[in-house]
Structure 1
Amino acid sequence: MNFDFLSPVSDSVMAHTALLPQQALGRKIKIHSKQGGLPDLSQVKVALIGVLENRNDIDYLGEDLDLDSVRKSLYQLFPGNWQLHLADLGDINKGEAVEDTYFALRTALEILIQKKIIPVIIGGSQDLTYVNYRAYDNIVPMVNIVNVDAKFDLGDSDKSIKNDSFIGKIIIEQPYNLFNYATIGYQTYFNSQEEIDLMEKLYFESYRLGEVSHDISLVEPVLRDANIVSIDINSVKASELGMRQRISPNGLDGKEICAIARYAGISNKVSSFGIYEYKPSYDDEITPMLMAQMLWYFIEGVSFRVEDDDFSKEAHYQKFITLVEEQELVFFKSNMTGRWWVEIPFLSDVNNKLKKHTLLPCTHQDYIEACGNVVPERWYKAFKKNCV
């Protein structure tokens, strides 16, 4: 496997790891080091990649990135009762041009995803999500992206890509592989009315911060349906972060962002995960530790994945049919996990994107509301996108 563009984990992190207890995560993870080289990936399920690219940050002032603090924080944690193998492949350094970094990252992601290894990206500016999306061009026909962010990041797609406009590029640039885009934890005052209207017009999903904080389980189905999960660390409120990271007094708290990371992990569909917009500071131990705990919860989620979405055997599920506004809705409930899905019908007279009956993750509450003649919003948006 050709990963020549990956630089090993620093000697200072390796020295720190050598002093950790034998049970610590840093002593159990396969690490790309100067001495040992790239680890064998034959049994690895989750692979960390640092990407030291931040030149497309709209506030970029020439500073360099360093992920040593994040690694030290993660390595010192103790793993849960996990059976999966982990690797840290080191860092992709800044290329001569940003496009060089993009190429290296896309190449690495394509290799890992095709090998059924989940890449976990630690960035760098969030425009790297665009590269993550493009890595799927030759792998899956349609992609769902979840962005945990205070902003939609639609931006002006006519201008060059930046960390506040990468979603606009994803939407307008060929090949068109995006089926659904969802934002979790958005704050209205950070988004123009035009962007909010566009999200509605495109039948994309958006969950306001207040909704998410009121009931965090609301976002589980949308994360269950995602291929890519991208987290802007600035979606977390200022009091939970170090001085350089502080953007807004409002935002998700530490428990909420870790719950979201765990929901992403237990999703059978999520095949890449990233945390972006980290700005290192010598006196900041809080942000690296929060990121480490988010990574821990994501890995925990992956280790507890359950194949509960195989509906070929009737013993594995219960089926419920209800009539809503003359539309028959078919719901499925897994007997293994209690999770719910609703069927999106195949429209034979429309050149639709799905090409077959598709099951959309939903909640028990969606079924209850459907019984009360209320069309579930997720179902409605997916159905409308399918008709376009």
Structure 2
Amino acid sequence: MVFDFLQPISSELEEFIQSLSNQALGKKVVFHTQTDFPVLENVSLAIITVNEYRGANKHNSEFSFEIFRKKFYSMFPGNWNTTIVDLGTIEAGASIDDTYFVVKNLMSELIKKKIIPIIVGGSQDITYAMYRAYDNLDQMVNLVSVDNQFDFAKETSLVSSSFLSKIIVEEPNNLFNYSNLGFQTYFNSQEEIDLIEKLYFEAYRLGEVSNNITVAEPVFRDADLVSIDMNSVQSSYSGNFDEFNPNGFTGKEICALARYAGISDKVTSFGIFNFNTTDNEVVLTAQMLWYFIEGFCFRSNEYPFGTKEHYIKYIVPIDDEELVFYKSNKTERWWIEIPFLTNVNNKLKRNTLLPCMHEDYLAACEQEIPERWWKAQRRNIA
């Protein structure tokens, strides 16, 4: 049983949880303890910590998630009506592939039960194992990574800097789209940047997202798997001065992105990686997780779950094309229709509406084809 690989929280942490106020988040969560394993019926979210850092050439065998859990569970929940479990920790296996195997199978079981796995800790190559969890779920995967690098790197021994290459190359290939938010050009070779363009993937520079954080919302709205690398955050906010990064997202921005990920009706797994044990970074990670759950509790269950009856339809003629937009009556969010080919893989049929912004509709009215629409068309043809 894959759940047997999970280590329960410590008895010391159990005592700490007991000492908290009855209003604290720790009192609203069901824990995998030394004596009990949570019942997984009617559960929405499952938190799992992963103690695997070998992908970044770090050996954190002594690493403990106690500080993180104490900070997180001491906070107070919002007006949430959802059941959360903490399944404990996946310790590093004999090899890194053993850890991947456990993460993959555990996540696959949870997603089948309609439970969103939240992976906290480990190096970002754990994203590869999360992606592999979708192998048996008969769907294509849209992966969104908040990261200052693309992680395509060839000339490196670090798995955490090259895991995306494995995702693209290895069979079965279930990746439909990869989107990067927050890349910094000087951390990425021109070859990697060219590859993003060649594969019709999406990439948004740090400045582009920081200047208008709302550009990220449609990207998350189309995501299945969201992976956040804490190295994308400024060191002055993350507290990580071992690997100093003067530029990156602020604490407020990274929390806003986590909330966008949570509020997306389509996201079915979420991970936060590469955070250190510094108090600052643990506190920020805890708050990011809080915002993800806050977003989840305010999901509107629109597309792909709703019907088009609750949308206003707009048709915009451009050259030989007719672009069809839909605006939700409920949230005023926008989508654009992608006319998929009739012989396309059945797995893709749910992707007929692509999330977009109101600005995309306004640009189309000025005869500008939205770039996201164009790239989605090219991926479909390819």
- TM-score above 0.5, yes or no: yes
Is 2:212 the counterpart of 1:215?
A: yes
Aligned to 2:39: 40
Aligned to 1:51: 50
Matches within 5 A, 1:64-75: 64-75=62-73
- Which secondary structure state, in structure 2, belongs to the residue aligned with residue 296 of structure 1? helix
Aligned to 2:191: 194
Q: Using the alignment, how far apart are the partners of 2:321 and 2:158 within structure 1?
A: 42
Q: Using the alignment, how far apart are the partners of 2:283 and 2:350 within structure 1?
A: 44
**Displacement, 1:60?**
2.1
- Which secondary structure state, in structure 1, belongs to the residue aligned with residue 291 of structure 2? helix
Q: Using the alignment, how far apart are the partners of 2:2 and 2:19 within structure 1?
A: 31
**Displacement, 1:46?**
0.5
Cα deviation digits, residues 82-107 of structure 1 (max 9, x gap): 00010100001111111111111111
Q: CA RMSD in A?
A: 1.8
Q: Is the 8 A contact 2:52 2:99 kept in 1?
A: yes
Q: Using the alignment, how far apart are the partners of 1:107 and 1:244 within structure 2?
A: 35
Is 2:78 the counterpart of 1:80?
A: yes
Matches within 5 A, 1:363-378: 363-378=357-372
**Displacement, 1:141?**
2.2
Cα deviation digits, residues 337-388 of structure 1 (max 9, x gap): 1110001112236679735770000000000000100010100000000000
Q: Is the 8 A contact 2:8 2:33 kept in 1?
A: yes
Aligned to 1:154: 152
Q: Is the 8 A contact 2:235 2:241 kept in 1?
A: no
Is 2:340 the counterpart of 1:346?
A: yes
1:335 equivalent among 311, 314, 329 = 329
Is 2:173 the counterpart of 1:179?
A: no
How has the CA–CA distance of structure 1 residues 185 and 301 changed in structure 2, closer, same or farther, with 3 Å as cutoff?
same
- Which secondary structure state, in structure 1, belongs to the residue aligned with residue 327 of structure 2? strand
Q: Using the alignment, how far apart are the partners of 1:152 and 1:322 within structure 2?
A: 34
Matches within 5 A, 1:203-352: 203-244=200-241, 246-280=243-277, 284-309=278-303, 310=305, 312-314=307-309, 316-348=310-342
Q: Is the 8 A contact 1:213 1:256 kept in 2?
A: yes
How has the CA–CA distance of structure 1 residues 193 and 64 changed in structure 2, closer, same or farther, with 3 Å as cutoff?
farther
- Which secondary structure state, in structure 1, belongs to the residue aligned with residue 70 of structure 2? helix
Q: Using the alignment, how far apart are the partners of 1:49 and 1:351 within structure 2?
A: 33
Cα deviation digits, residues 148-177 of structure 1 (max 9, x gap): 0000011229x8770000101000000110
Give the total of aligned pairs. Answer: 381
Is 2:22 the counterpart of 1:22?
A: yes
Q: Using the alignment, how far apart are the partners of 1:348 and 1:161 within structure 2?
A: 42
Q: Is the 8 A contact 2:46 2:87 kept in 1?
A: yes
Unaligned runs of 5+ in 2: none
Aligned to 2:120: 122
Aligned residue identity for 1:329? L
Structure with greater helix share of residues:
2
Cα deviation digits, residues 78-134 of structure 1 (max 9, x gap): 000000010100001111111111111111101100000000001201110000000
Q: Using the alignment, how far apart are the partners of 1:108 and 1:253 within structure 2?
A: 32
Aligned residue identity for 1:302? F
Q: Is the 8 A contact 2:184 2:205 kept in 1?
A: yes
Cα deviation digits, residues 20-79 of structure 1 (max 9, x gap): 1110001110011113x211111210000011011111x425654321111111100000
Q: Is the 8 A contact 1:245 1:278 kept in 2?
A: no
Q: Using the alignment, how far apart are the partners of 1:50 and 1:84 within structure 2?
A: 20
How has the CA–CA distance of structure 1 residues 169 and 219 changed in structure 2, closer, same or farther, with 3 Å as cutoff?
same
How has the CA–CA distance of structure 1 residues 213 and 129 changed in structure 2, closer, same or farther, with 3 Å as cutoff?
same
Q: Using the alignment, how far apart are the partners of 1:165 and 1:311 within structure 2?
A: 37
Aligned residue identity for 2:307? S
**Displacement, 1:15?**
2.1
TM score, norm. by length of structure 2: 0.96
Q: Is the 8 A contact 1:238 1:245 kept in 2?
A: no
- Which secondary structure state, in structure 1, belongs to the residue aligned with residue 379 of structure 2? helix
How has the CA–CA distance of structure 1 residues 297 and 229 changed in structure 2, closer, same or farther, with 3 Å as cutoff?
same
Q: Using the alignment, how far apart are the partners of 2:138 and 2:242 within structure 1?
A: 35
TM score, norm. by length of structure 1: 0.94
Unaligned runs of 5+ in 1: none
Aligned residue identity for 2:260? Y
Aligned residue identity for 2:279? E
